[in-house]
Chain A
Amino acid sequence: MANLPENATLRRSLALGPAVLIVGAFMLVPVAIMGVYSFLEAKSFGGVTWSFSGDAYVQLFYERLLDDSLRLSSGYLIIIARSFFLALVATVSCLIVGFPVAWFIARRPLGQRNMWILLITIPFWTNQLVRTFAWIIILGRNGVIEAPFRWAGLLGEGETLGLMYSDFAIAVGLTYTFIPLMVLPIYASLEKLDFSLVEAGADLYSSRWETFSRIVIPLSKPGIVAGCLLVFIPSLGAFIQPDLLGGGKKLMLGTLVQFQFSTARNWPFGSAIAMILLAFVIAFLMLYARAARGAKAMEMRR
């Protein structure tokens, strides 16, 4: 009898085994390799030499002038800031578009909702590259948007609205790509929302805005936070949209990492940037965990 708890522990750890194995083999080990590589020296034609070097991190903040002297430089920090800004824009626009959509679906009769969810996920069936290319046709010169302007004589020969190859195009591409990741978690929250609470609010003479801001938003907060994280994190490292829609004129984090591993053949620096990116992501996840704990605490107080 005495060894039963021990048995249970053993059984539990065995049951957890596969999960630990997968997380270990497919997440921790690659991240560890990346971390180690970021502290090594770059080999001239790609790959690394096994000697310790902090160069990759120095490079983030200092510029090595062409004559090899160091100077404090904001170059890479600007790239990081730009990536953050665009990821933020994508997240906000996903939220603005995604919330009403999620609300709309959650208010459909039960039998219809699955059909609407299915419609939301349809774009995921097509390759992301193809979908991004489609935006070139829509936004480009003589594209779908410009054609009516040209037809109406508002755009002359050789003139363009300049939608393509801009930060605007990147933001559109990111929003379009990641919007299902915003809609689905918000929908999941809204679906559980007890709409009699909304009615109760109305009965107590709250305005529509008050009902929305004091009842709907707090109750759907977990979905909103999850959706924002799911959009923000991949946007931060996005690679295809800046490249295809932004014209590759301004480096973003994702493009910068890719460049280090390909043409620049500087694997340690690429790893260092990836580590920095990872640090940011972890920071955001911790913020999320705190927010989620806070929400739970609030619920318990009630």
Chain B
Amino acid sequence: MKLKTTLLTSVALTLAAGAVNAEGKLNIYNWTDYTSPEVIEKFEKETGIDVTLDTYDTNETLLAKLQAGATGYDIIVPTSNFVPIFISEGLVQEFDAAELPNFKHVAERWREVDWDPGRKYSVPFTWGSASIAYRPDLLGKTIDSYADFFEPPEAAQGRISVFKSPEEIVNQAHLYLGSPFCSEDPGEMQKVQDLLMAQKPYVLVYSSEGMNDRLLNGDVIISDHWNGYAFKGRELAEEQGKELVYAYPKEGVIGWADNLMIPASAENLENAKTFMNFMMDPENMALQSNFTGYGGPIAGQAEFMDASMRDAPEINAPDDAKVVFSFACSAKAQSLIDRVWTNVLR
């Protein structure tokens, strides 16, 4: 009798397990430290879908992997400037974002975007900006222009930190010089190169990590910075009785927006869409924002966000701040950028 019960129980358990498995799997390929564990837990609980997470550190890595034929990913998270590449290279699937019920929560400015007209391939994810952050207490002044970054005052000479990859820094130079992004004009690029070369003697480090560490220990006074990361830096600075400010230079800050997309090779299409829809729920996107420290594209997510973030000037740009979105450059412009950057760094 006992044996029979055990048998029955195990059969029942197997069936139950089968039911969970029937919901299937979802393989997410996202940026490192960019997926809220709470969100994943909640998603798994609500849908019964089993999530596997893999991570990358640059858009280039993601692109290279997919181009090399990597399969098994159902959700990828490319940045706005790379979205057109994924579309034109045929690496992602077309679907209708507006058909997802929660698309109605998406704030107006994120519905129609340059990088995916009509939102045929993507739904919006967290977004932010790149600019410079600085230590007013060490610099002795406030910054309202990239001039202090490219031609630093004496206090900041030798204590400048610049991003390691050229994308943002070349665009910052364009903003400062008043030339267009992705310029194909060698003369304009020469000016960008001259500016970066002139800045180099004052640069302590070219790195896209550890900005807060260097600003807080005083190694660096002005640093290229991401808004969400600078927000965390400011909170740390306040704890230590220091000042760290994310600047909105009058020339503008570089905007970026990440997007959820479905690779052409995705095996769990419906689950991917379920995830996209789930993420566009204000409460869920707020969880994601709280985790990464970056703002989200969902109207009404603010009320679920941590109070400190809701009022953070880094996350919520002042009304008069200029946000310029970067886009993918032509091969010719990209090769000019690469050459400028190699010339600067060698």
Q: Hey, which bits of chain A sit against chain B, CB under 8 A?
A: 44-47, 63-68, 75-76, 78-79, 136, 140-142, 158, 160, 164-165, 243-244, 247-251, 259, 261-266
Contacts of A251 in B (CB 8 A): 342, 345-346
One digit per residue, 1 when the CB lies within 8 angstroms of any chain A CB and 0 when it does not, for chain B 178-210 equals 000000001001100100000010011111001
30 contacts between A and B (CB under 8 A): A44-B331, A45-B89, A46-B64, A47-B68, A63-B343, A64-B339, A65-B186, A66-B189, A66-B193, A66-B340, A75-B342, A79-B346, A136-B210, A141-B218, A164-B219, A165-B219, A243-B207, A247-B207, A248-B164, A248-B207, A248-B345, A251-B345, A259-B341, A263-B58, A263-B60, A263-B166, A264-B338, A264-B341, A265-B60, A266-B338
Contacts of B6 in A (CB 8 A): none
- Give me 6 other A-B pairs in contact (C-beta within 8 A), A75-B342, A250-B346 excluded: A44-B331, A75-B346, A79-B346, A248-B205, A265-B60, A265-B338
Smallest CB separation, A107 vs chain B (Å): 43
In the complex, are the beta carbons of A46 and B346 less than 8 A apart? no
B67, B200, B203, B343: the one contacting A47 at CB < 8 Å is B67
Greatest chain A CB density within 10 A among B204, B340, B342 is at B342
Greatest chain A CB density within 10 A among B200, B218, B345 is at B345
Smallest CB separation, B134 vs chain A (Å): 15
In the complex, are the beta carbons of B205 and A165 less than 8 A apart? yes
In the complex, are the beta carbons of B63 and A45 less than 8 A apart? yes
Contacts of A75 in B (CB 8 A): 342-343, 346
How many chain B residues touch A (CB < 8 A): the figure is 42
Given A46-B63, A66-B336, are A142 and B193 neighbors across the interface (CB < 8 Å)?
Answer: no
Smallest CB separation, A281 vs chain B (Å): 22
* In the A-B complex, the 8 residue pairs with the closest CB atoms: A44-B331, A247-B205, A66-B186, A248-B206, A264-B338, A263-B165, A141-B219, A262-B60
Contacts of B203 in A (CB 8 A): 249
In the complex, are the beta carbons of A46 and B60 less than 8 A apart? yes
Smallest CB separation, B83 vs chain A (Å): 12
Contacts of A261 in B (CB 8 A): 60, 64
Asked if B32 is at the interface (CB within 8 A of a chain A CB), the reply is no
In the complex, are the beta carbons of A250 and B345 less than 8 A apart? yes
Residue of A nearest to B204 (CB): A165
Residue of A nearest to B192 (CB): A66
Contacts of B218 in A (CB 8 A): 141-142, 158
Smallest CB separation, A37 vs chain B (Å): 12
Asked if B334 is at the interface (CB within 8 A of a chain A CB), the reply is yes
In the complex, are the beta carbons of A263 and B341 less than 8 A apart? yes
Contacts of A265 in B (CB 8 A): 60, 334, 338
Contacts of B345 in A (CB 8 A): 248-251, 259
Residue of A nearest to B58 (CB): A262
One digit per residue, 1 when the CB lies within 8 angstroms of any chain A CB and 0 when it does not, for chain B 308-334 equals 000000000000000000001011001
> Roughly how many angstroms separate A141 CA and B190 CA in the complex, as a whole number?
35
Residue of B nearest to A79 (CB): B346
Contacts of A165 in B (CB 8 A): 204-205, 219
Given A247-B207, A251-B345, A263-B167, are A66 and B64 neighbors across the interface (CB < 8 Å)?
Answer: no
Smallest CB separation, B332 vs chain A (Å): 9
